[in-house]
Amino acid sequence: MGPLRTLALAIACATIGYFSGTHRSSAAEPPYPNKSIRLLVGAAPGGPNDLVARIVAQPWAEALGGTIVVDNRAGATGMIATEIVARSAPDGYTLLVGYPGPLIIAPLLGEKTSYDGLRDFAPISLAVSAPFVLLINPNVPAKSLQELVALGKSRPGKLNYASGGVGQSSHMAMELFKLVAGIDLVHVPYKGAGPGMTAVLASEVNAIFAAIPAALPHLRPEKLRAVAVGGTRRSPLLPEIPTIRESGYAVDASSWYGMLGPHATPAQIITRLHATLARTMSAPAMRNRLLDIGFEINASSPEEFAAHLRSEMATWRKVIAAAGLKRE
């Protein structure tokens, strides 16, 4: 075989190998998504994070052209679901509805977690925030937030407040408010927000930060008194109640919920998940449905969500240190 014929044969073999390799590569990487996506929720059905997941999952899946299955993994105040996602393959098929408790608060309170809330996740987008309303028993002689603060300063350590447990969002919101307002209220933790609300209704405890939908049945008639709402604007469900900021205190008493994947999820998958989620959240029907049950749309870019997580970590580290908090 002559040199030219040998060279031609080598080029032909290389060309066939290249194209067959390209075909195998494209066949091994079908378009995303090509199977069901699991969206993990660290709570039983019915809670706010579960509501967000179930309201968003179907239209988000339609925008993606796939299927999203909500997977409730309750236990350990959300840390079980969070750990599952942190340890999952970074392929875009296991996602998390993240919120402050397991991602930020629990590790800062000394919980032993196998994950780092900043390092082990790929932020996709914030989804919604859920402003709290500050409720007091009508026996408390205060008609406004300013009057409550004045009362607290005149009676340090004499007023108290309920929460759904140490490290819960309502607990941390009140500790932040105490720090900013410079008042001393005694924390009385309960095993859940429901028992805490019952204690305030029974005058066993003076105050509580509660989710707005849970508070509404007790405000008309005035079984409880609302003095301020969290969030950046007044709630359409309580338009007559001023925000905490309007009342003079730089506090955003809200929880938030956002979507994350495992660290090292490919950038193109994060981009696709974010773009389709942003389109889903911007639909008027979605916005109205969430507003009707007390949520505010708070969508963001992945970079903005990452910055938000870092800011949250810094804020709650200061609050926990100042209050001397630890998991009981």
- pLDDT, tens only, 124-148: 999 999 999 999 999 999 999 999 9
Q: Does residue 10 surpass a pLDDT of 60?
A: no
Percent of the chain whose predicted confidence (pLDDT) is above 90: 78
Q: Which amino acid is at 234?
A: R
Angle at 303 between CA 76 and CA 252, to 5 degrees: 60
In order of 66, 143, 178, 183, the CA distances from 158 in angstroms are 55, 18, 14, 11
Query: Tokens 């490919």 map to which residue?
Result: 266
Q: Whole-angstrom Cα distance, residue 37 to residue 92?
A: 7
Name the pLDDT band for 24 (thresholds 50, 70, 90).
very low
Across 219-328, where does the E strand assignment appear? 225-229, 254-262, 296-297
Q: Whole-angstrom Cα distance, residue 224 to residue 216?
A: 9
Q: Does residue 217 surpass a pLDDT of 50?
A: yes
**What residue ranges define each of the domains in the chain, with the CATH number in brackets?**
37-128+255-323 (3.40.190.150), 131-229 (3.40.190.10)
Task: Tell me the pLDDT tens digit for each residue of 174-209.
Answer: 999 999 999 999 999 998 888 999 999 999 999 999
Is-contact 261 87, C-beta < 8 A? no
What pLDDT does 2 receive?
52
- Name the average pLDDT for the chain: 90
Q: Which amino acid is at 120?
A: D
Q: Which two tokens stand for residue 4?
A: 């030219």
Q: Which two tokens stand for residue 96?
A: 């998390």
Q: Does residue 14 surpass a pLDDT of 60?
A: no
Q: Which amino acid is at 46?
A: G
Q: Which amino acid is at 306?
A: A
Q: Whole-angstrom Cα distance, residue 92 to residue 29?
A: 13
pTM: 0.85
Task: Tell me the pLDDT tens digit for each residue of 25-36.
Answer: 444 567 899 999
